[in-house]
Structure 1
Amino acid sequence: MDHRHAYPTHLRQAGRQLAHPGGAARARTWFVALICLAWLCIATAQAQASPWPGTAEAARSDWNAFQPPETGWVPVSVPNDWTRQWPGHDGVVWYRLQWDITDPPQTQGLYIHYLIHAGVISVNGVELQRDPSLVEPLSRTWNRPRFLLLPAPLLHTGRNELLIRVSGYHAYQPALGPVEIGPPEPLRAAYQRSYLVRQDLNWLHLGMGATLGCFFLVLWLMRRQEAAYGWYAARQAAWVAFTLNFVNTSPWPFGNTGTYSAVTSVAYVLYHGCNAMFVLRFMGRSWPRREAALWLLIALASAAMLMAPHEQLRLMRNVLAWASSALLLTTACVFGYLAWNGGNLVQRLLSLTALAGALAMVHDLLVFTRIMDDNFYLAPYTEPLATIGIALTLAWTFVTNTRRIESFNDEMHHSVTKARAELTASLARQHELELQHARLGERVNLAHDLHDGLGGMLIGNITTLERTNGPLPQDQVLDMLRGMRDDLRLIIDTASAQHYGELSLGELLAPLRYRMSQLFELHDIDVHWQVSDIDRLHLGATRSLDVLRLLQEALTNAFKHSRATRVHVTLARQARELELQVWDNGQGLAPGAASGTGLRSMQVRAQRLGAQLSVDSQGSATTISLRVPLPDVQA
């Protein structure tokens, strides 16, 4: 499986941005600035110390000795690592430094670069400084410079003596660092510079590392597919655990120096393992077998370190130091090879910071193994280069993506505004078309109504006139005219309902009921209307017209052909259907009437309504029934 494109998307985007000539120039600027800052700190801390102006002797004793021994003193040079005089010695070594003052004494400054691990400082028999714990749990002041002011009354002309008691273990480079004595102000300034580098900058590095570690942890929790985030968070956690060794003043939370140092060594190994995994994921690589072998070795080495007896601690720490250094060098070389063979500018710049860390590690390894006589470690000052590089990469990417999002939002706003204007115009055109369609629909409906109703009646009346020999009776002519008038009124009523707003079926029925009731009463026909629950029933103009035409046709048939004396009309809403029934006590349907024009017209309208039409003629009575379903009608 090819993982070359698996590294975080935002880093690929940053690489494309940095590939721009302006981006490359800015990248080189901040990279050079960081390098200069780191080497400035190193140069400040590594300022050449003045040699001790007098003699120096050392003598060893056990942990509980609080007075220097009478014998056993040997000449030494300062700085001094006592394992050269007494290999394997754990406990206390006394350092006696003497110098001469020829003129009347003046206030002097005493600057001690370091002592490992804890100590007591006395001048001319007067104790000036004592660390909190000189036995286990032993105070850890190995990376803390000391400055003392020696007032003139404390000194005297002639031979003066500085006595320093140092408690330590042979496994942890027990030593007394450079000691300087002289005018207070220059030494105070040198002490402050050293304290800034050895303590304050380490606290700053801790804060930066912890903050970035938490930040990347949150990013990884939100985007689990970005494995580089998770490994970087683990890397920073291990780095914080290791860097605490430079500022802690006690082995807490552990009870002794050995356990604390073993855990610190394990954290150092884990840091390099997580760093290797981060580099691989950052470069889009995954080598499962090699990674499994790496973590198996780390687990075995960590277990061996934690379980090693006290006598083997120095050897185990040296083995882990060499192994970690080999892993760091390998990681830096792999990083550089991948970055400079197909990587982007961001990856190449960060590979340079990895190379700087590897070079610093070589220096630290030489110090740790005492090949170099020093106790100043460069790793805490070169590691922030990579940390700051990652932070700047993220910030750079964030700003770039923010600008891209803002540009996209502007384009989107312009597009939405344009689309809104087009939609408004389209809706206006659609509304105009709908109005035209509605007007056309009204005209078509009116044409159908005129054709089906008044047109049919006109044709029928014309046919009657053509087939009649001689003049028609006046009453018959009047009936024809009244029928056409009633049909025309019905069309006008339904058209008015469409034009002025939809009316209920009860409101549309009222004019027809009035006209038909007058007609039946004029001919002495008793008509009874039973209307219920239709005052708020809205069927729509077309369906209402069909129902009313069916009713009109049924009443017209009863009036013209049945010779009835009583007619009963029922129009009621029953649950989800409308029931229409016209009953008369006339002579019933004549043979062949069921296939007449009127009934065929009623059947067509019933089909259009989706209703059931039934005609029942028994003897001298006829019943026409219509059931119209009302699935979508609301009262």
Structure 2
Amino acid sequence: MRYRGLGLWAWGAFLVLSLLTGCSLPPPSGDQIQALNQGEVLTLPSQHQGALTPADIPAPPAPGDPRWQAVSLPDAWDTRRPDLQGYAWYRLRWAPAMAPAAGQPLSIYLPYASMNAQLWVNGQLLGQHGRMHEPVTRHFYTPLLFDLPHGVLRPDGQANEVLVLLMGYRAYRSGLDAVYVGEADALQAAWRHRHFWQNTGTLITSIIVLTVAVYGAALWWRLGREPMFGWFTVAATVWGVRNLNFVATELPFGLHWDNIAWSRLSVSGATVFIGLLALFTLSYSRWVLSKDRLPRWQQAIPLAYVAFSVIAFGVQDDTGGMRVWFKPLGAGGLLLTLWSQWHLLFTAWRVRAKQVWAVAISGLAYLALICNDLLVANDLEGLGRLFLRQYAAVPLFLSITLVWTHRYWQALQQAETLSGQLQREVDAQRAELEASFQKLVKAEREQALAQERERLVSDLHDGLGLHLLTAMNMARREGPAKQPLADTLQDCLDDLRVAIDSLSNLEDRDPVLLLGSLRFRLQPRLAAAGVQLDWQVGGEIPPQPWLDASRALHLLRLIQEALTNAVRHGQASRILLRIESTPEQAVRISVVDNGVGLPLSRTEQPGHGLSNMHKRAQALGATLEILNEAQGGTHVRLTLDAPQRV
């Protein structure tokens, strides 16, 4: 029921608008206003067709000129003088019904005088609006109002004479409508009323339509160069510019166009708009129905109409020639509009959406007022009737714009909703991942602690446990020497301290601090044994991120083993422990002693202690070299390739 009511309303609106076809504004009325519609006309010979300079404008003819002929207004040239192009004089007489008050302003009002008019009263030039020579100022759709001074009027009881010089073109709706004389306030009100509907209102519609065209261009640019938006933008632009023909009486910037060329552009713009609007309407209907783009033949028909009309009007150099093509092209434009509007109505009926119905109803209003404009344009008798199609285009374009804005707003809201939902899902996933990551970190930390505990227990069992077992056996023997037992216990203490040192400075991961602690613990023992331990740091040693507790213990054990070998096997009295940075940014640790060196067999076939040192170096990812110095002694060199470790 809702859509049926909407459809009935649409047809009702169509019928109401159809009644408006051929509408005209009421004439001025009042006790002090006289309508002059009976007089005489004098047409000028062909040499006066379009004066080129002000000096060529015809002068008023003599009162007794035999060429004066009786005429009644409105005088439409298209019917009564179809071959006239140029100038014609009109002579009208009136005697005021009562003498106007001395201070009462008077005016003369010309609702329709095309193309332009010059006004004389009682032999005095009252004025003209714009040029009366080529290019003549375009007042074909603009009412004219002249102030009437009391000083030019004749004494009471004598008739006054009005001369109107009219310049017009052949087959261009030229002519003169009834002339009104009287009270200025009433005539100014009538002039303002007509001027608004013919000029100001048309200018407003042009501004609105051109603004909508800019909006359509923005949509076209924003939404992937969709052809439908392109047709809409071009159609709105053509229509907005074309309607300025009703408003602009002079071109800006001092440009002077031939009025024939201006007329060609005006009628071509009207037909081009019809074709472009049909292309848009067909594309819009398929867009609403979610169909593919227009078939080629549906695009070809409006484009062929546009091309043919532009050629037909463009080759004409005379308004009469344009009139020949006006009726068939107007009929073709009406058929094209009916075809496209049928598609629009069918689409509105299919989708049953209020927004689409709004566009369809606006299209019906536009169609009704096309009929009005065609009737006005082809009426060869009447003058001063209104063109209304420019007003129908405004609701049509605005309804389309509102539909697109609604669709675009819905898309934005949907995008925002989806974005918010996606953000919530992402936040939930992030929280879940963070929880899982924390669990994983905790599990890895617990596993690492377990592995480190197991490693430490194993290392203490293999090292410290063996030393403690040896010390216990020595203590159980009767009368053991105290010194060997003390040495064994000292070894146990050293192993324990090395294990503790490996767990220290884990945050700094500084090999200098690690080896410095080892040197600090071993130096007193070595000094007691008569061995001097020298310490040397070469260059800036950066922290080593890879040096965790396990690798730190391997490093300490390896250096400890090197120092022990230098004392026990090398019989050294002096040992140098040096740590330095290489040009390759590696860390090199050297243990150099002045002992007897290693036997050749020991360097080629390392024993158990040297084998452990190589295993620890391999676990560190380091290079271990054990060399005999030329002057005697042993050189243990450990190179830690730090960049690879990082």
Q: TM-score, normalised by structure 1?
A: 0.81
Give yes or no for the alignment of 1:74 onto 2:69: yes
| Separation of aligned partners in 2, 1:151 and 1:622 | 132
Give yes or no for contact 1:363–1:378 (8 Å, CA) kept in 2: yes
> Residue 189 and residue 537 in structure 1: after superposition, are their counterparts in 2 closer, same or farther (change >3 A)?
closer
Which residue, out of 251, 271, 279, partners 1:269?
271
Change (3 A) 1:158 1:443: same
Say if 2:341 is the partner of 1:341.
no
CA contact (8 A) 2:41 2:70 kept: yes
Could you give the per-residue CA deviations for residues 287-345 of structure 1, whole angstroms, max 9, x where no partner exists?
Answer: 22342354244224313322223252332344443333333333323332333334743
Q: Distance in 2 between matches of 1:447 and 1:37?
A: 102
Q: 1:601 to 1:320 in 2, by over 3 A?
A: same
Counterpart residue number, 1:551: 559
- Calculate the aligned-residue CA RMSD, in Å: 4.2
2:508 equivalent to 1:502? yes
Q: Distance in 2 between matches of 1:84 and 1:537?
A: 106
Superposed displacement of residue 197, structure 1? 0.8
Matches within 5 A, 1:314-329: 314-329=323-338
Deviation at 1:481, TM superposition (A): 1.5
The letter of the residue matching 1:95 is: Y
Change (3 A) 1:34 1:248: farther
Are the counterparts in 2 of residues 120 and 130 from structure 1 also a CA contact under 8 Å?
Answer: yes
Shift of 1:137: 0.4
Structure 1 unaligned blocks of 5 or more: 1-20
Distance 1:269 1:347 in 2: 25
Q: 1:505–1:534: 8 Å Cα contact kept in structure 2?
A: no
- Alignment-derived partner of residue 56 in structure 1: 39
How do 1:94-113 residues align onto structure 2 when only pairs under 5 Å count? 94-105=89-100, 109-113=107-111
1:402 to 1:35, Cα distance in 2 relative to 1, 3 A: farther
Aligned counterparts, 1:141-220, within 5 A: 141-150=139-148, 154=153, 156-220=156-220
Is the contact made by 1:254 and 1:260 (CA closer than 8 Å) also made in structure 2? no
Alpha-carbon offset, residue 198 of structure 1: 1.1
Q: Please, which of 55, 58, 66 is the counterpart of residue 65 of structure 1?
A: 58
Deviations 1:230-289 (A, max 9, x none): 222211221123111101213674531111101112222221222122223322341223
- Residue in structure 1 matched with residue 589 of structure 2 by the alignment: 579
Q: Is the 8 A contact 1:339 1:348 kept in 2?
A: yes
- Distance in 2 (CA, whole Å) between partners of 1:415 and 1:554 is 59
Instruction: Give the aligned partner of residue 92 of structure 1.
Output: 87
The 3 A distance-change label for structure 1 pair 133 and 583 is same
Q: 1:118 aligns to what?
A: 116
The correspondence for 1:255, drawn from 257, 269, 275, is 257
Aligned mate of 1:600, from 611, 620, 623: 611
Flag the 1:343–1:456 CA change in 2: closer, same or farther, 3 A: farther
SS of equivalent residue, structure 1 residue 572: strand
CA distance in 1, matches of 2:606, 2:369: 112
Decide whether the 8 Å contact of 1:214 with 1:233 is kept in 2. Answer: yes
Amino acid at match of 1:606: A
Whichever residue aligns with residue 109 of structure 2, its letter is: Y
Aligned partner (choices 131, 134, 137) of residue 136 of structure 1: 134
Equivalent residue, structure 2, for 1:612: 623
* Partner Cα distance (1:403, 1:38) in 2: 37
Matches within 5 A, 1:396-415: 396=406
Residue identity matched to 1:123: V
CA contact (8 A) 1:506 1:535 kept: yes
- Change over 3 Å in CA distance of 1:37–1:312 after alignment to 2: closer
Task: Go from structure 1 to structure 2 and tell me whether the alpha carbon gap of 1:245 and 1:274 turns closer, same or farther (over 3 Å shift).
Answer: same
Paired residue for 2:489?
481
Give the number of equivalent residue pairs: 608
Deviations 1:552-609 (A, max 9, x none): 1122233334445555544433232423344453474597895644233323211110
**Could you tell me which amino acid in structure 1 is paired with residue 263 of structure 2?**
S
Q: How much has 1:350 moved relative to structure 2?
A: 1.1
One-letter code aligned to 2:40: E
2:238 aligned with 1:238: yes
How do 1:330-369 residues align onto structure 2 when only pairs under 5 Å count? 330-342=339-351, 344-369=353-378
Counterpart amino acid of 1:172?
Y
1:455 aligns with 2:457: no
Deviation of residue 168 (structure 1)? 0.4
Deviation of residue 403 (structure 1)?
6.0
Asked if the contact 1:465–1:472 (Cα under 8 Å) also holds between the matched residues in 2, the reply is yes
Amino acid at match of 1:376: L
Shift of 1:199: 1.4
User: What do the CA deviations read for 1:367-418 (whole angstroms, capped 9, x no partner)?
Assistant: 1122562442111221112123234335545665666677678768877887
Distance 1:414 1:507, change over 3 A: closer
- Distance in 2, matches of 1:359 and 1:452, equals 106
Unpaired segments ≥5 residues, structure 2: 49-56, 288-292
Post-superposition CA distance 1:403-460 (Å, at most 9, x none): 6677678768877887887788778777766775675566445434423431343456
| Structure 1 match to 2:307 | 299
CA change 1:304–1:502 in 2 (3 A) is same
Structure 1 residue identity aligned to 2:561 = E
Equivalent positions of 1:530-541 (< 5 A) are 530-533=536-539, 537-538=543-544, 539-541=547-549
Change (3 A) 1:292 1:615: same
Q: Secondary structure at the match of 1:121?
A: strand
Identity %: 25
Q: Is the 8 A contact 1:45 1:193 kept in 2?
A: no
* TM-aligned CA deviation for residue 184 of structure 1: 4.3
* Partner SS for 2:350: coil
Q: Is residue 76–residue 380 contact of structure 2 (8 Å, CA) maintained in 1?
A: no
Task: Tell whether 2:623 aligns with 1:627.
Answer: no
Residue 13 of structure 1 aligns with which residue? none
Whole-angstrom CA distance in 2 between matches of 1:450 and 1:359: 104
Contact 1:110 1:150 in 2 (8 A): yes
Q: TM-score, normalised by structure 2?
A: 0.80
The alpha carbon displacement at 1:92 in A equals 1.4
Distance in 1 (alpha carbons) for counterparts of 2:298 and 2:427: 56
Pair 84,251 (structure 1): closer, same or farther in 2 beyond 3 Å = farther
Structure 1 residue corresponding to 2:281, chosen from 266, 279, 282: 279
2:125 counterpart letter in structure 1: E
Q: Residue 3 of structure 1 corresponds to which residue in structure 2?
A: none
Pick which of 373-382 and 54-63 moved more.
Answer: 54-63
Q: Secondary structure at the match of 1:89?
A: coil
Match 2:528 to one of 522, 533, 553 = 522
Partners of 2:109 and 2:572 lie apart in 1 by 136
Amino acid paired to 1:281 = S
The Cα shift of 1:550 comes to 0.8
SS at match of 1:171: coil
- Cα 1:345–1:84 shift into 2, 3 Å: same
Secondary structure in 2 matching 1:392:
helix
Distance 1:505 1:564 in 2: 25
CA distance change for structure 1 residues 561 and 267 in 2, over 3 Å: closer, same or farther? same
- Aligned-pair distance for 1:174? 0.9
Q: Per the alignment, in what secondary structure is the counterpart of residue 41 of structure 2?
A: strand
